[in-house]
Amino acid sequence: DAAIPPMSLIPIFLNEFQVAEFTVQIDQEGKIGIGGMVWDAAILLSKFIAKNRESFKSVKRVVELGSGTGLCGLAVAYLLPQAEVVLTDNQPHIPLLKRNAELNGLPNVRVEELDWFHPRNLGDFDMVIGSDIVYEPQLFEPLLDSLEAVAGPQTLVYLCNELRMSRDLNFYKAAHKRNWTMTILPDSLLDPECVNPESPVMLYKKSLS
């Protein structure tokens, strides 16, 4: 299997991604935009779940927001076979998501369209994940609306993204106004190959206050 390159700020054009003992098959489609490509944050979040999977044995339902290629959600479906994993994104990404779900043939995965501007009830979830979905300021409020639509007080929420100082700060200010709290997870919880002092990729755990 091809090795995953060191953390960087460019998309990673591989078709196979090794996460723990599993190989996730991924098609990428640059013509639909940045969501059609794999970025570091998806790998870091996938490997975080892999390293700490024993902590998630009780998780039964997972939703991924802004799934893009679906790498992270599909990795979670491999790692947590007891859980139903729902991959979500807006319409341009749905065909790619469905194709990648079919490539991996996992029975515990389904794909749903989710428009952040009109979030709908997809049921209750034990865990919400998202990688590199905090980058467009005009989407901060719709993203928070969508998070609140799928996450309850006991839901685990993990967001992983590149460190963009001013943008991050504005998002977290908006989240704080809605009584969300944020914790930056320590390097000790991350896969060692994803820990790079020069890496701008950070993993956050969020919860309702």
In the chain, the N- to C-terminal Cα span, in Å, equals: 43
pLDDT at residue number 180: 87
More confident site: 79 or 189: 79
| Mean pLDDT computed over 103-129 | 96
Percent of the chain with pLDDT over 90: 61
User: Residue 190 — pLDDT band, cuts 50, 70, 90?
Assistant: confident
The structure tokens listed for 72 are 């992270």
Boundaries of every domain in the chain: 16-208
| Mean pLDDT computed over 109-132 | 95
CA distance 91 to 89: 7
The structure tokens listed for 201 are 């990729």
> What's the Cα-to-Cα distance from 62 to each of 40, 81, 139, 156, rounded to whole Å?
21, 11, 22, 9
Q: Is the pLDDT of residue 8 over 50?
A: no
pLDDT tens digit string along 136-179? 889 999 999 999 999 988 899 999 887 666 777 788 889 889 88
pLDDT at residue number 165: 62
pLDDT tens digit string along 30-70? 899 889 999 888 999 999 999 999 999 999 999 999 999 99
3-state secondary structure of 194: helix
| Mean pLDDT computed over 90-96 | 96
The structure tokens listed for 158 are 């993990």
Is 79 in contact with 49 (CB distance < 8 Å)? yes
Q: What is the CATH number of domain 16-208?
A: 3.40.50.150
Query: Please, is 182 exposed, middle or buried when counting C-beta atoms within 10 Å of its C-beta (0-12, 13-18, 19+)?
Result: middle
More confident site: 168 or 188: 188
| Mean pLDDT computed over 173-186 | 86
> What's the Cα-to-Cα distance from 131 to each of 45, 87, 107, 161, rounded to whole Å?
7, 12, 23, 6
Q: 175 — alpha (psi -120 to 50), left (phi > 0) or beta?
A: alpha
| Mean pLDDT computed over 88-114 | 97
pLDDT tens digit string along 152-161? 888 999 998 8
- Mean pLDDT for all residues in the chain: 87
More confident site: 25 or 190: 25
